[in-house]
Structure 1
Amino acid sequence: MQNDWSQIFRGETITLTCEIQDGGDTEWEYEWKTSSSETSPKQRERWIFTASASSGGNYWCQGKVKMDFYFPTEWSDPLRLTVTPNKPRASLTADSRVITAAGGGRVRLSCSVDESNSWKYDWFQRESESSAAQIIKDKGPDTMSISDGGMYHCRGGRGNPVYYTENSTAVTVWKRVSNKAVVKMQNDWSQIFRGETITLTCEIQDGGDTEWEYLWTTSSSETSPKQRERWIFTASASSRGNYWCQGKVKMDFYSSTEWSDPLRLTVTESKPQSKLRADRTEVPVGGSVTLSCSVNPSSGWKYYWYRGDQSSELLIRHDDVFKSNGQISVSQEGQYWCRGGRGEPVYYSQYSQSVRINTLVSKRVVVTLHPNWSEIYHGEMITVRCEIQGGDTEWEYEWKTTSSIKSSNQNEFRISSASSSHSGNYRCKGRKKNAQHETTEWSDFIKLTVNNNKPQSVLTVSPSWLSPGASVTLKCEVEHPSAGWRFYWYKTVPKLSDRLYRYELLPGSDSGTEEDSYMVHGQTHTAGYVCRAGRGEPVFYTEHSKPTFVWSGDFPPSASLTVSPDRVQHFTSDSVSLSCEGNSTEWRVRRFPEDSYLSLCSDWGTMTGSTCNISGLNSSAVYWCESGSGQFTNSVNITGH
């Protein structure tokens, strides 16, 4: 066989030659036979035919000497011919699908036809998807080095006439340019909200005058545009994901940039809330209030202002000069709203909560206390009043207090029984009844303190021992002095049943005295006194003072105290008897030591009838008797040594 191919394909041209070895100059004629269906030639040295399925089989030949026909050679050994019915397809591979500078700027292509040999290869290139394939090399080797991007395929050919394989499957090879693709968002906002219009741009750095086409890809559910530089869509939950782009040289379709780094897009489902703040809620006389609108935590907003309700006409629209701080100044009362907008077309945030702005009137407001006591006691009654000076306008009132009581719209708080919950600062303002949006300034605070401890009165007497013809001065003081007190004066009357005294008002003190002192004239015998203070309506009283005594050594006509032994000084080991005498059957002995409290005989001695027996004196003290009928005896000062 002319071509020693291991595999024959249907359609190839087959040339068989009958070769006579060592034939020398002899002239030969030839005879062929075959087990196939092919028709053998007559006497020719070569048998040429086109391979088909029926060509498969054994082939023999023999030579006959032309001048001596009956002397032939033996039949040759058979040549076995197998024909493959299907046309072969070339296979194309590339050591890389991308031509890069780092890879030497070239890619190696390899073309092959499986299980056969002796092929030469034709190479083809398409410069775009729509262009026709152009042959770039024919009858070449099975490898080729390329430096240009494109869509490549190959085929094999062998024999004469040439038999061609099927074309290989095309392989696309891209050429990477050095320019970098970058995905940029038109508005560099850190937070995107559902419904906003998003514009992504594929920017080719150092692209110069080159014309580009663009490819986009994304991990989101958005459908990418075809070959456009910009990708514009409305943000939704399905827009979340990464976005990449790539640039292709328009005149060299298979030359492109690398894919860009991803731009990560996060979409917030809920519409953002605007927040409106006012530096104050009342417009001062001749002044203004500053309103501030914000949409956080995001950027790029312009602000839209409204007065009235949300359907009101736009009040002020910010331009770029004010965009950054979102503030306006207003001097007119009303209900104000705002919202933010950004992008094109404009995407709006939700409306803010409204802020009510009122105007101030030039009326002075003060909080007063009635009575005017800054400190009161638990249980006292007091009125906290809001007073607006000037004019007879009808007002409603508003209060602010740090106490725990509920605010009122009346001009005063009446506290009938004060407690610690009423302690705190109070201030108020007025609002015109016929013009609700006109108010006064807030008053200054006034502080009210409620003391939970009932106040104590303290009584002093002078002198403590009576001299003939001397008057007694009583002086009453309230602990932690405060204003508004009147003073009540009492004489003590013994009550033997409970160790205490009952109190009888002294003349002229039924309604109390403004003065904190009281003069007792004509007192000649031992007596006890008590005081207390009161104020307000109804009267709030302090505790009674402790009984305080003025002593006398004179014997009253109907009661006396005698001491046995009858001397002023005693040793501490002495026993002493104190005897009470007079027009009474019940007596008790009192003593008041210099360094202790008022006490009875039963506390330090033994009371037998009307006599108090003391087994030992441990201190110096004043002693006297008190009768069941309310009498005091003379007083005795006994010193123990």
Structure 2
Amino acid sequence: MEIYKNGELLALLGENNDFNIRRASLENSGNYHCMGVKKSNHEPVVSKRVKIQVQELFSRPVLTDSLSESTHGNQVTLSCKTQILPQKSNVILQFCFYRNNQSLESGCSNNPGLQISAIWPHYSGFYQCKAGDVTSGIWKESQISQIYEQRVAEVQKATEFVTEGQELLLICSVDRNPKNMNFYWYKKRGYLSSGAKYKIASVKNSDAGEYYCRAGSFTSKPVTIKVRVPISQPVLTARTRQTQIVEGQQIILNCEVDRSSPEILYQFLHEDTVLWETKTSSILASFSLTAKHSGNYYCIANSGFGPKRSKVLKLSVIVPVSQPILTFHPAEARTVEGSVLTLHCEDPRGSLPILYQFYREKLLLPRSSTRSDTGASYRFSLTEAHSGNYYCTADNGFGSKRSNTVSLSVTVPVSQPILTFYPAEAQTIEGSVLTLHCEAHRGSLPILYQFYLETSLLDRSTVHSGVGTSYRFSLTEAHSGNYYCTADNGFGSKRSNTMSLSVIVPVSLPLIIFKVPRVPAVVGDMIELQCEAQRGSPPIVYHFFHEDVMLGSRQSPSGGGASFKFLLTEEHSGNYLCEASNVGKTQRSKTVVLNVKVPVSRPAFTLRASGSQAVVGNVMQLHCEALRGSPPILYRFYHEDVMLGNSSASFGGGTSFNFTLTVEHSGNYSCEADNDLEVQRSETVTLKVTVPVSRPVLTLRVSKAQAMVGDVVELHCEALRGSPPILYRFYHENVVLRNDSTFSAKGVSFNLSLTAQHSGNYSCEADNGLGAQKSELVTLFITGPTENRSAVATGVTGALLSILGLAAGALLFYFWFSRKAGERSASDFSRNPSDLNPQETTYQNVPGWIELQPVYINVNPRERDVVYSEVRRNKGENKYAAASRPKILTNEGSPVIYSQVKVACTPASRVQQSATSDPHR
């Protein structure tokens, strides 16, 4: 975890992720945020920004002082002023005073003021105060203030200078000027006059100096008065040791005025450019002369009353000649015989006039001496005798200087060269050796020969002796074209006549390529075979082959490749090559392989169960296979358009997908085949998953609180899980009472008129062909007169026969009425026995000791491992039932009596546990 302040990392936090500021200050104000990393995916997480504003407990103190009079003399009061934050007005500050970093009086106190005597020794100095809160340890210092024993004198005008002839007024004052205080004025410790004001009506130059005053025991700081005097026009003079001013000499410039002033600004200018300026008493300027120092000079003097300019002083600096420069026109050192050559000599620096002279091999050329202002030239027509070394001299009376030597060579231009081939044939075969020879019959050596093909330089060679030069090379196709050569000895290049050469190139190994509209190639696409030999002189004949069977021929009259097109079928997969032929030579390409892809066909989809039926828990295999299509093929399996999985068949054939059946697997299934060329989907196959019946729940219901002979009891049997149709059988002491089939999930019921013989154990059985399940036993106790039991038994027998006759019709009517009227499902009744009508009595597998209880029911409400046996009592129960109830199980606040808990860990119950709510109490 990291914490940031104003966007910059402040600290790395530890395990507790806390960051503490022990003592907050103004520097801690700012915007704070932290950043960490999630442990799950290591993504960074940034918190919101929090702005923290730290307020000052109190402001920085300000130190002030004031002078006052008392009976004991003058006093100075020091005050240390600050402001406390209104919310912290209860804070009591301490104040300390210091002079020259030494504590005053007895240290710090709560008093922000301190009085000291103005005549206290060493009163003047640097003062400072501190304010602080002892509790928090916060202390702040004021700025340092300098306090003088004397009070300052004031000059009426704020300017430093006073012009000669102006009035000067000086005023001496002190803070809180007491009555009858005497003032005295002094200049350089000499007494001038008394009074608070000192006035000079007309200031003279002699009035300049330092003034100060005394007021009582106070002495002011000295005030300097400067008097400015107007000056006259300056005079500029130059001094040098020689009569002629020559470059390199030392010269002194002097600028003077006839009247002095406290301070004068002098400026020296050359051609209106300021060279330097000075305010010092020295007014002499000294420097060494160069050629650029020639020109007009003057100076300017300024004492504050406006600048005064001297007259112009003109200097002409004589510059001795430097080494002259000799040049040729034209500038080439080698020239052609008969051309006109001009020699030019010039010194760029020397003062005029200058005498120039020209020499060849130390001999002065006739009529070459000249006196010129812009250099000198010598012009003549060249002969072979003019070859040699030349130089010139320059002189202006301060010493002659000589130029560097320049050589001249007179040459003969070359004639037109002649180009020849060896061998002389204009048409040759690639690979043979050809020699080019170029020769100019006239021309001064050395001669540079160059060989060209079209405009490309092939070779170059410089010949210093002999006649001509040759260039030898092996021919390639690129050497066909026009050839020529040039010869050049520095005075113009000459070109030979052009000669043409045609190189015959045998055909090279051709390259065959496929051109298809898509990759990979698919049946029905138009394919183009292209064959091309990169090298070879036209015409070229191309032959195309498939598995060594020729498909066709094409001719290329002007070079390049050839093409062959056809529509693809599956049989066109295989090896392809081509041949190229010219001038009796044939070359065969490498073999290339074409693989023609076939789009996938509509797949066949089948379902295969591990048993004879699709039953929950069995393994179902989905198989998908496309009979045509280039592998690999990707198969996808779908249930109601939701993909279950996929599998790839890399070498053809189909693929399968297995899973264990649950109830939710009923529905429509299909598969898809995809080989990147086409996607095909199978027909839909419907699967119905059969669920084995669960253990049924038997419920006995009577309308009275106590089952008696003659009462009608309703027997209801229901399996909470199982695929219809379901056959239900009712048993009394393992004797079948009734069989009923139903396509509904609500179970079946029938009524029984009770006789004494109907006491005993009841159960029911559910079977949907995947295995019968039997309910738990429910015991029924019937009370009534003994003598009436036979009659009741006879009635029960008749009732059973009637019920068996009406069972089928009653069952059909029951299901039809349930759908139409939307009555509450039987599952609600069986799963929530606590919600029954309080007037009806429901019993569940009750132990034998509760003989006087009403009817029971063995309920596993939500098919969990725990079975709750429930006893429900009515408000109007008889006294016998109440007397027989055990006290320890009585719950006065609830109509339910808890009798027994039974654990039934059946596989069917475990399957439903996660989908049901808690069992009823």
| TM-score, normalised relative to structure 1 | 0.32
| TM-score, normalised relative to structure 2 | 0.25
Structure in which a larger fraction of residues adopt helix: 2
